[in-house]
Amino acid sequence: MAKLNAEEYKTFEIIKKFCNNSAEFWYASELAPALEYTKWENFSKVINRAMLACKNSGVEGIYHFPEVRKMVEIGSGAKRWKTDYELSRYACYLIVQNGGARGAS
């Protein structure tokens, strides 16, 4: 079971965002490097496992893992749409629980 140390928890709180209704969320694209994932492909597998765990717990995942699209700049200066997730605190918990070893890349 993965556990967050004090420095990781501090980073977790720093990257927290708030919706218009004051609900807190975290972007998956910001959580991945905080958990030492360097490849989105590996992190998306963890997200999928966490979504399955959410479903298996009887909780509606759509409220904890809403998919969003963000415009990002790529290396050439061009922009493209990128899929991201606005994760609830519960979703983040499930991601940590379903993640691999540190430095899973």
Other Cβ atoms less than 10 A from the Cβ of 54: the count is 22
Gap between the Cα atoms of 26 and 50, Å rounded: 15
The pLDDT of residue 19: 86
Per-block mean pLDDT, blocks of 10 residues, the chain (105 long):
62 88 92 92 96 94 92 85 94 91 52
Tokens of 74: 């790529």
Q: CA-CA distance, 73 to 82, in Å (whole number)?
A: 10
Six-digit token pair at 75?
């290396």
Phi, psi of 61 (to 5 degrees): -70, -25
Dist. CA 51–CA 103, nearest whole Å: 21
Q: Which residue has the tokens 């556990």?
A: 3
